[in-house]
Structure 1
Amino acid sequence: MNDSINLKQIEELKDILGDEFQGLIDAFLTDSRQRLTRAREAMGRDDYELARREFHSLKGSCGNVGAEPLAQLFQQLEGLLKKADYRSAQQKMPELEREYQRVRQALRLSMV
């Protein structure tokens, strides 16, 4: 069992999408890396509204590929930024980065 992704949801996606499953995962991996980079850079220059929008998009994308714990972290960050709790949001970033790497690894393994 992998705690970072919902393996049942992954298997259902494989059954439904067949050969297109790999394309979905590849698209998620590429898009999420770009969005997370934009969010990280936005926070570095205090553009918290852009970061919040990126976190919102990432939350939805994670839900689509069964990355529920990561989706929850993005939701928490989005909420912190909505409340202008920028310090707490910055402090949550290392946890988010670790979980994001676990999800990337788990999704890559799911394509084997």
Structure 2
Amino acid sequence: MSDSPLDHAVLSALHEVMEEEFVVLLDTFLADSQERLRQIRQALADGDSQAMRLAAHSFKGSCSNMGAPLLAGLCKQLEDLAQRGQLASAPALVEQIEAAFLVVHDLLQDERRGLTR
């Protein structure tokens, strides 16, 4: 796992493929991520390990595809915890995921602003 919150090679490749639609992709990822976090928090509140596993798995895939390796790794850890039904240690991990997402969110917003000038 990389130490950087974003893999700029992945972002560059996505930008090259998506061209003008790259901004839409960024916006979609950011909105979708908010929903995934909401689902994770709800699953935690409900003590629903299956819902947590599914939400963490989905968020992990999105983060991987968007070049957010640290966030993807945290989601993988949460997915694994939920798979084993070990939600007792999940709250601290969910906090880490939320903090990591804020960093990624801000970096992607900066990236977006640079594209729309």
- After TM superposition, the score normalised by the length of structure 2 is 0.89
Give the match for residue 55 of structure 1: 56
Give the match for residue 75 of structure 1: 76
Give the match for residue 96 of structure 2: 95
What is the deviation of 1:109?
1.1
> Contact conserved, 1:67 with 1:103, CA < 8 A, in 2?
yes
- Paired with 1:95 and 1:54, the residues of 2 have a C-alpha distance of 16
Aligned pair 1:41/2:42, yes or no? yes
Q: Residues 29-64 of structure 1: CA distance to partner in whole angstroms, max 9, x if unpaired?
A: 111101111110121111221111000000000011
> Contact conserved, 1:9 with 1:65, CA < 8 A, in 2?
yes
> Contact conserved, 2:6 with 2:69, CA < 8 A, in 1?
yes
- Paired with 1:68 and 1:42, the residues of 2 have a C-alpha distance of 23
Q: Secondary structure at the match of 1:70?
A: helix
Give the gaps of 5 or more residues in structure 1.
none
Q: Residues 56-108 of structure 1: CA distance to partner in whole angstroms, max 9, x if unpaired?
A: 00000001110011000000000011111111122212111110100111111
**Which runs of structure 1 show a deviation greater than 4 angstroms over 4 or more consecutive aligned residues?**
none
Q: Secondary structure at the match of 1:44?
A: helix
* 2:5 counterpart letter in structure 1: S
Q: Secondary structure at the match of 2:67?
A: coil
The alignment's C-alpha RMSD in Å is 1.2
* 1:15 counterpart letter in structure 2: E
Give the gaps of 5 or more residues in structure 2.
none
- Paired with 1:76 and 1:38, the residues of 2 have a C-alpha distance of 16
> Contact conserved, 2:44 with 2:90, CA < 8 A, in 1?
no
Aligned residues: 111
